[in-house]
Amino acid sequence: MAAEKLAYSPQEAAMTLGLCLNTVYKLIKNKRLKSVKLDRKILIARTEIERFLRPEGRVTGTTDKT
């Protein structure tokens, strides 16, 4: 049984979220997706990806009209 990853690279996060890599970097730059930098490597915590996926975890320019 493989252990669940605790953190993802931007490339892995992009694949997980179904986004292009440039979008992930923009989300990090705009502080909408938190990351940590270790030496030259950027890591995004699994819990941060889960937070981002929750509707209340994202801030968008549109409003929900349900």
Provide the whole-model pTM.
Answer: 0.78
pLDDT tens-digit map of 12-64: 999 999 999 999 999 999 999 999 999 999 999 999 999 999 987 666 655 44
Q: Which residues contact 39 (CB under 8 A, 6 or more apart)?
A: none
State residue 66's pLDDT score: 45
DSSP 8-state code for residue 62: S
Q: Are 46 and 34 in contact (CB under 8 A)?
A: no
Name the residue ranges covered by the structural domains of the chain. Answer: 7-55
